[in-house]
Chains A and B, each alone.
Chain A
Amino acid sequence: MIGRAEEDENVAKRDAPVTTRHYLYAYAALIVLASASLGLSLLPVHTGLGVALAIGALKAFIVLAWFMHLVQENFGSKVFMFLAGLLVFTLVLLTALDPLTRAPYPPPPAENTVFRRAAH
Chain B
Amino acid sequence: MPAPSPAEQFATLERQGATLRFGMWLFLTSELLLFSGFFALYGAYRATYSADFQAALHHNTLAYGSVNTYVLLTSSFTVALSVSAIRRGAGKAASAWLGLSALFGLAFLVIKAAEYGVHIHEGALPGHWYRFREAPTLGGARFYTLYWITTGAHALHVTGGIGVLLWLAWHARRGRYLPEYHPTFEMGTLYWHFVDVMWIFIWPIFYLT
Give A contacts to B, CB under 8 Å: 7, 10-11, 14, 17, 19-20, 23, 26-27, 30-31, 34, 37-38, 40-41, 46-49, 51-53, 55-56, 59-60, 63-64, 66-69, 73-74, 76-77, 80-81, 84, 88, 91-93, 95-100
Beta-carbon contact of A31 and B73 below 8 Å? yes
**Which A residues are in CB contact (< 8 Å) with B204?**
37, 41, 49, 52-53, 55-56
Beta-carbon contact of A63 and B205 below 8 Å? no
Known: A34-B69, A48-B209, A95-B40. A67 touches B76 (CB 8 A): yes
* Closest A residue to B38 using CB positions: A92
**Which A residues are in CB contact (< 8 Å) with B190?**
68
**Which among B62, B70, B73, B208 is the interface contact of A52 at CB below 8 angstroms?**
B208
**Which among A11, A63, A80 is the interface contact of B14 at CB below 8 angstroms?**
A11
Beta-carbon contact of B196 and A88 below 8 Å? no
- Nearest chain B CB to A67 CB, angstrom units: 5
**Which among A10, A69, A88, A99 is the interface contact of B44 at CB below 8 angstroms?**
A99
Beta-carbon contact of B203 and A56 below 8 Å? yes
Q: Is the interface of A mostly helix, strand, loop or mixed?
A: helix
Q: How far is the CA of A34 from the CA of B202 in the complex (A)?
A: 13
Q: Is the interface of B mostly helix, strand, loop or mixed?
A: helix
List 24 interface pairs A-B (beta carbons < 8 Å), by A numbering. A11-B14, A17-B87, A23-B81, A27-B76, A30-B73, A30-B76, A31-B73, A34-B73, A41-B207, A41-B209, A48-B209, A49-B204, A49-B209, A51-B209, A56-B201, A69-B83, A69-B186, A77-B22, A81-B29, A88-B32, A92-B42, A95-B41, A99-B47, A99-B48
